[in-house]
Every structure is written in structure tokens, then in C-alpha cells.
Amino acid sequence: MSEPVLHHLRAGGVSVVLRTIGDRLPEVLHWGADLGDVPGAALADLDLASRPQQVTDQTNDPVQVSLLPELSAGWLGTPGLSGHFAGARSSHRFAVTDARFDADRAELEASDPSGLGLAVVLELSPQGLVRQRATVTNHAAAPYTLDAAHLILPVPARATEVLDFTGHHLRERAPQRAPWQLGVRSQDSRRGRTGLSSTTLMIAGEAGFSFGGGEVWGVHTAWSGNHRMYAEHHNDGRKLLGGGELLLPGEIVLAPGEDYTTPWLYYSYGVGLDELSARFHEWLRARPGRATRPRPVALNTWEAVYFDQRLEKLTELADAGAAVGVERFVLDDGWFGSRRDDTSGLGDWEVSADVWPDGLGPLIDHVRGTGMEFGLWVEPEMINVDSDLARAHPDWILAPVGRLPMEFRSQQVLNLTIPEAFAHIRGRLIALLDTYDIAYLKWDHNRDLIEACDPATGKALVHAQTAAFYRLVDDLKAAHPEVEIESCASGGGRVDLEVLERTDRVWASDCIDPLERQHIQRWTGLLLPPELVGAHVASPTSHSTGRTHDLSFRAATAMFGHFGLEWDLTAASETERARVAEWIAAHKRYRELLHTGRTVRADEPDPSRFVHGVVAPDRRHGLFAGVMLATSAHQPTPPVTLAGLDEDLTYEVTLVGVGTDDGGGWGRPLPWAEHGVRLSGRMLHRVGLVLPRLNPEHAVLLEVRAL
């Protein structure tokens, strides 16, 4: 057996140590905290110290679990590559033919005697985020059916708990946590989009890990179609985090010369969930081409008018929005074709002459005249059977042979893999952007891809449809790079890092009840920074839950995101409008802090409270929210602590007046509230301070500034 060769990659406080033996694919000796500048001899000793003792009932050589685990290396867990040549040659033994290692990047090329080629890239970002992907190429003379291609990174034995997320429409990204037991814990999405119930992250950590403490390791599969993430605990003691695209039967068949590239898998390490989260946030903010101007305060018309679109009403709503400080006015569903309800018109992307006899120009001109941008709702991937497009091209619908799939919200899926269908939709969207002054598209996707097949052959097309969606967005961005796009899918059904390579924010949920949003935004924010998450102030009574909340709670919740309104302001009182204007002004005052700072969350032991905030990069300024979710078991409630501050600085803490006008109940004033208090960052983190008394479902904002 050849002597191993060690490669130490480092960046952003993270180390990855790769071990290669002979021509085998490399395995990971360490992924986690930075090991420092380790000399070669010490790396060799680290390798020696990690080798298991060989005992009876084991392979003669140690089992190697590479980045793409192989049965041929003795691994009997989840294989990295599954596939076959017409039922034959299903096992692989890749030999590395070329390898390049830099300080923060590894590139490998390998081949298998069957004729398959493999290329793997692993890299560390300056923020310490690890990402990797693989390309499989068929160099053989026969077709190769690819069933799965999964990549992994190992985590240490001390990771004994797993956190992931589930949910449904109006309740996305609900956390679930469990001991990491033997076997495979897998979160799969077969919905043809990222999914309302799918996890954004699979996280393993030390027992009792929290936002501020305990080592944690997480994986994210960056793909907007079917995918999986898994945490595997093998009976040999190894623990792995992996994932990849979830391929349907026969979906990827590589003809000779063809290749398949996996999605990027992103991995983050941290001491506490906040550090793991911060690596994603910092990486997203450093992306080339991201929107860098302040995020415009938006008003979306959906819950204000639904399908009842009338110029007079909408211009009145626009005026009301402009008067309170709105910067972007978004016309939602109902402006095109026969779309008077959600049963018809999808696919007919032409302005309805019935609703808009003079086109959208009069409304857009009015909106632009107030100084606001104009945005428009679209759902280009969908089609109603009751539409001119479906009647003209029934063969453009994704369907199994001989029948349509079951309907979902009275709609089917347009087959964008057909060049003519793709060109038609692309042409209609670009024509809209060419004709009108549109700065923003709210891009929706309200249907799971059930039986998304080629109607002529029955072949599954989810992968091809997802790739076509990416091409469509890329084409629109190339033609109109100034247009921003929101990823919306029945609310938060398409939230992943690959869709955010080409869009500018996500809609976290169709539920904007602030009590629900406190939870949804908290866990969406593990992956995404506040400026990428649409967060709107709803009407006093939530349309999705029927609960009624004061403006202070609704607005304080929306403050920590891309702020907007989803409310018929024309029906609001003058007093309500004045208070909305104050909240918008407050958001603009703190917008730079909120959208550039580090998100922190207190490890609050009282389940009735959340305490979270954003701290500036230099840690001299912060804005925190104290949120009362329910009635506490304690009266009075104990102090809360503030995370993320410089423990050696002294801060002045004050209540933000706009957030303290209601919900305080009865009693004498809080002793420190009137004039503020001066405390060190260490005191605020280790001892804390008492919040004003809050009724359930209310919030208060605290500002901290270094002296």
C-alpha cells in the first residue's frame, strides 16, 4: 500500500486536510476549525494518529471514504456514484490521473476502466465556506444510465445531534432536532422545486449546540429541482454529511461523449449556529453581480386588491404608498389574458385589454411619477389548460403518455425543454421588459412538478426543466441586467443558493402573520442574510391565519428583512398611515446596518421569547429585537442577553421609540428605559438587561452604540 500524501487547505478560519493514497480518490482527514500552519511532518503524524487498528472481520486495508464514496474502496454505506451500462458494469474504481492542489482549492481528474471519467472540484471561500461538485463523463461506446452522484464531507464523532427543517405552505422551515443515531437521516425533495417541506440545511453538532456555542457542521445542496441532503452514521463509527440531485429513473442517460455535473454542495462550520450562518451571509454578500444599492421598500398589491385590478384603485394605492415612503410598487397576479381568477390565463403573457384597455402604461407612468419603481408579478413556468397557449399547444404541457397529471391550483407545467415553448415564453417576457419601465419581477412558481414527463415518451424531465428555468432567467438578465427578480414559489418554495446566483431576493412565505414570520424568518436566516428575504407588513388581521396584531409587532418583524407592505393602505386610517411612515423612516435609518451587519440570536432559555439582532461589522452599533411570543412562565421576566458585541467596549443602550408605543401593558416605567443605560459588551453578553414588560405577540427594539 502506498504511503499517503497530505494536503492542507485553509481559508477563513477553516481547515480541510485531504489524504491521497496511491491513485485513489482523496478522503478528508479533517474539516473544521483552522489547524494553523502545520508542517508536513506534523500532518503525517496526524494521519498516523488517525489510522484505525486493523482487527479480524475487516478488509485487509483500511476502508477509504473519499469525497465520492466507492464500494471498491470497501465502503458499504451510501455510494457516491450509482449507475450502469444497460445493467452491467455498475461498480466503479476511479484512479486519479491528474491532481492540482492550491492553498484553498483542489482539482482532481480520474478515470474508471468502464470508460467513465470523473472530475471533482473542492474549494474554500475567503469566508471559510467549503463547496464541491463533480462531473461524470461517459467516454465509453455505450450509453451510461446515471442513478445518483453524491458528494460527502466527514464530521467528527463528537457531533451527536442533527438539526434539519421541514414545513408546508404558510409554515416553511420549521426546525426539527434529534440525536444522530446509526443509519441514514435523509431529507429528499421530489417536488421539482426546492420545496416548501425541504430542508435548507442539514446540520450536525455537538450535544446541546446553540446559536452561540457548540461546534456545528452543515451542508446545503444548491439546486432548485429534486435534491437530497443526508446525515449518515455508519456502524464503523464514521459520520458523513452529503447530498446531491435526486434523479428520477432514467432521467440522466449519458450518450458517448456526454457529461453530467452535480449541483454545488456547500458546507459551513462554526462554533455555534450564528458562526455557521455568518459564513453563508458573508459569501452571499461578496458575490459578483449582486445588487448593492439600498433595498427599496416595496408595496405589493396582492393582499390589497387580489384579482380586482382597476386603474383608479391602484393609482390611489400607489399614492398612499408613496406618501408613507414606499420606493417600489409591485402589481401582482391578474393583469394578463383571461386571468380574472386562478383558473385561467397562465401562459398568455399579454396585457389584458379587458382590465387594461390602454395597457399598463397609465399605471406605470403614474407610479414612476411618484418616484417609485414599478414591479410586476409573473409565473412563466406554468400554464392553465384554460388558456390560449394551452389550446394552441396542448403538447407543450409536461405530462405522462396519454393523460395530464392531476391539477394543482388549476394549473399544469409548461415544458420549457421544448425549444419552441422556451422561445415563446422568453419572447413574451422580453417584450414586456422592452415595452414597459419594469424594474422588478416577482417570479412565482405555484405548483409541484407531479409527473413532469415528456408526453411523447414518458421520460422524466425535472432535471431538464430546472436547467431550462435557469437558462430563461439568465437570458432575461442578459437582455435586461437592470431588472431585479424575486424567487417566489407558493411563498418560500424555491429558496436555495443556486436560484440566488441569478435572483435578488426570495419570498420567505405567503404567510405574513408576524407571529409565524418570527419563526420562518429566524430559520430562513440561517442560510440567507436579511436583505435577501422579503419581509412585509400585513394588514392588521392576517389573511392567512385570521390573527390580529398591532402595527408595532408587524413592523418590528418586517424590520429585519427586505422591508415592504402587503396592505390596502387606502383602507387604513390617517393615524395608521402616519405610524407606517414612521416605521418606514426607521427602517431606512437602520437599513445599512441591517443589510451589512452580522445577524446574532441570543440563546434565550425562555421559549416564550426571542431575542435577535444585527451588529455592525466593526461591532460598534447594533439593533436588537426583544420579542414576546407567548405568556412567559416568569413574572417579571428575567434579563435578556445581547450577543455579538465587543466585550471590551462600553455601549449606550436605548429603546427605539417607534417600537415602544403599544403592548407594554400596565405598571410603573422600566427604570432604565427613559434615559438609557451604559454597559460593557461583556455585561450585556454575560449579565444582560431587563426588557420592558410586553404582552404576548409584541416586540420592542433596542439600539446599542459604542461610546
pLDDT band, very low/low/confident/very high, at 402 (cuts 50, 70, 90): very high
Mean per-residue pLDDT, 468-477:
98
CA atoms in the 13 A half-sphere facing the CB of 702: 28
610 and 617 Cβ atoms separated by less than 8 Å: no
Instruction: Give residue 665's pLDDT.
Output: 53
Q: Is 333 left (phi over 0), alpha (psi -120 to 50) or beta?
A: beta
- C-alpha Rg value of the chain to the nearest Å: 27
Mean per-residue pLDDT, 260-275:
98
Q: What is the pTM of this model?
A: 0.98
Instruction: Give residue 91's pLDDT.
Output: 95
Question: Which of 348, 444, 496, 504 does the annotation list as catalytic?
Answer: 444
Instruction: Give residue 63's pLDDT.
Output: 87
Across the chain, mean pLDDT equals: 96
Nearest to 297 by CA among 534, 486, 550: 534
342 carries an active-site annotation: no
Q: What is the crossing angle of helices 551-558 and 514-524, to 10°? A: 10
The DSSP line for 596-642 is HSEEEE---S-TTEEEEEEE-TTSSEEEEEEEE-S--SSSSPPPB--
Instruction: Give residue 1's pLDDT.
Output: 63
Question: Which of 47, 164, 332, 510 does the annotation list as catalytic?
Answer: 510
Q: Is 578 helix (H, G, I), strand (E, B) or coil?
A: helix
Q: What is the crossing angle of helices 311-324 and 574-596, to 10°? A: 60
444 carries an active-site annotation: yes
Residue with cell 450564528: 274
DSSP state of 571: G
Q: What percent of the chain has pLDDT over 90?
A: 95
What is the per-residue pLDDT across 666-684, written as a single tens digit (0 to 9) for each? 568 899 999 999 999 999 9
What is the per-residue pLDDT across 431-472, written as a single tens digit (0 to 9) for each? 999 999 999 999 999 999 999 999 999 999 999 999 999 999
Q: Sign of the C-alpha dihedral, residues 51, 56, 58, 60?
A: positive
User: Cell numbers at residue 432, please?
Assistant: 414586456
Per the document, the length of the chain is 707
Mean per-residue pLDDT, 37-62:
87
Angle at 302 between CA 296 and CA 305, to 5 degrees: 120
Nearest to 508 by CA among 196, 285, 248, 271: 196
Distance CA 380, CA 325 (A): 31
Distance CA 249, CA 252 (A): 8
The DSSP line for 642-692 is --SS-TTSEEEEEE-GGG-SSS--SSSPPTTTTT-EEEEHHHHHHT-BPPP
pLDDT over 70 at 664, yes or no: no
Distance CA 639, CA 605 (A): 11
pLDDT over 80 at 660, yes or no: no
Q: Is 520 helix (H, G, I), strand (E, B) or coil?
A: helix
pLDDT over 90 at 87, yes or no: yes
pLDDT band, very low/low/confident/very high, at 662 (cuts 50, 70, 90): very low
Q: Is 421 helix (H, G, I), strand (E, B) or coil?
A: helix
Mean per-residue pLDDT, 422-435:
98
User: Cell numbers at residue 279, please?
Assistant: 459564513
User: Cell numbers at residue 401, please?
Assistant: 403518455
Nearest to 171 by CA among 513, 549, 567, 601: 513
DSSP state of 498: T
210 and 603 Cβ atoms separated by less than 8 Å: yes
